[in-house]
Amino acid sequence: MPRQDRAENRRSKKPRENHSSRKGRGHKRQVAEDRATVDALWGSQVVDQPTQASDHYTTTHKRAKRMRTAMWIGLVGGASSVFLLALATGNAAYQAFISTIEADPGIQDEQLWSPRQALVVDEINRWLNSEEDPLPGAYVIDWNRVVTSYQAPDPEDVDENDPDTDISAISYETHYVDLGSNTGTLFEASVLVGYSDELEGFVASAPSLKPMLPPASNEGDTQAFPGAQDVQESEALDFAVQSFMEAFYSANPSALKVAVGDGREGTGYMPMPAAQRVDASITSTALAPGFRASDEEDAPLPEGVVARVQADITWPPTRVPADSAEALEAQGLEFDGLLDDQSLDDDAIFDDTEADEFDDDGQRMVQRTHRASVEYDVLILEANTQTPRVVAWGPPGTWRTLSEHSNAINRQLTSPDSGLSDSE
């Protein structure tokens, strides 16, 4: 058969149908129709035709939701009402308190400063030094405080036609002054002072007195370094403290700077006036803040140590008339620190002068020796070596704040023979 005829026969043949594919499509269509029928059936039962159980469930659910909403609204509303009521009550009480203060000029107002405190101190001194000698051996320690006892109203707020209105233009305040005495008893003196816009201030009463509580004795219970770890002192620490105190009480800034070990330029240290003798001793030692100590028994000292130091200072003697000292001692009174149980025969208090036994007027003179016992907290570095050094110091209780060279000033000091001077 020719090739052309075979091609035409192939084109004229119908393709064979795929019975398996046709069957599959029909099956899927049938399943889809069945599902639609089921969904429609159940949907109509639930939505279009609700049962008694589903109706009860829907009604209960809606009722519970409404109850929850009402409860939340009640809680929020109640809390808001309580808060607003408390706020209104507090505001009313505050306004009432303010109105009471404004309406009561006698409100007590305590202050720690007054422009009239000098007037009060001068008045107390005049009273103590008067011929009557109202409080023997007493003296003023310090002005303490002032309390306003009456505040005059503002003239603009005064109604002169109101008989209940106080139109006084003078305010009053009570000043309190602390007093000491030779017997050791402490007193509190008070004085009433008046003032106004026209009057600077005037004393409006005689002084009032009352005793103060005596200082409590706490000997034996005092801790030098509370909360710090105690460390053992050493002979090297004793030498370091003694050398530092001698330099500190030398009136020589250069010696003090060398003792501290501050090699920086442009810094200096202020020493105390020169003492005739200094005896320093350590009363307590502890681990300095920021340093660690070893837990071993025979471990060396830590690098940083704080110490409480007591220094007994003997100042250069002064020349006083012998008859003045003898007269005062005969009366049993103190003379510039003379104790009752010490006499003129005690060389530690009075000594006859060798070169100048009499002054130019022929009056016999004696030497008066002055002593002081003081305490310091000091910071010692290189305490674990044989050459420890004191690098900072302060009053007792300041040991936590001490740091190396914290006492330095930004000025280089020198000490010529004529006294202290400084150089920029």
Write down which residue in 211, 246, 276 finishes a domain: 211
Domain shared by 205 and 240, yes or no: no
| Domain interval for residue 245 | 235-423
CATH number of the domain within which 119 lies = 3.10.450
**Residue 354, pLDDT score:** 43
For residues 194 and 242, membership in a common domain is answered with no
162 within domain boundaries? yes
Same domain flag for 300 and 156? no
Banded model confidence at residue 60, pLDDT cuts 50, 70, 90: low
Question: Do 332 and 199 belong to one domain?
Answer: no
What is the per-residue pLDDT across 214-273, written as a single tens digit (0 to 9) for each?
877 766 567 899 999 999 889 999 999 999 999 999 999 999 999 999 999 999 999 999
Alpha helices in 117-271 (DSSP H): 117-128, 235-248, 253-260
pLDDT higher at 179 or 43: 179
The reply to whether 277 and 411 lie within a common domain is yes
241 and 203 in a single domain? The answer is no
d(C-alpha 174, C-alpha 287), whole Å: 49
Q: Where are the alpha helices (DSSP H) in 145-276?
A: 235-248, 253-260
| 284/336 same-domain check | yes
The per-residue pLDDT for range 84-124, each reduced to its tens digit, is 776 666 666 656 555 544 445 455 678 999 999 999 999 99
Assigned token pair, 205: 């009463």
User: What phi, psi does 108 have (nearest 5°)?
Assistant: -85, 120
Same domain, 143 and 247: no
Structure tokens at 369: 């020796």
Alpha helices per DSSP H over 261-338: 322-330
Q: How far apart are CA 389 and CA 399, in angstroms?
A: 16
Instruction: Tell me how far apart the alpha carbons of residues 11 and 118 are, in angstroms, rounded to a whole number.
Output: 134
Residue range 183-202: average pLDDT? 91
Q: What is the pLDDT of residues 4-25, one digit of tens each?
A: 555 555 555 555 555 545 555 5
Same domain, yes or no: 268 and 412: yes
Q: Regarding predicted confidence, which is higher, 297 or 242? A: 242
Helix (H, G, I), strand (E, B) or coil at 367: strand
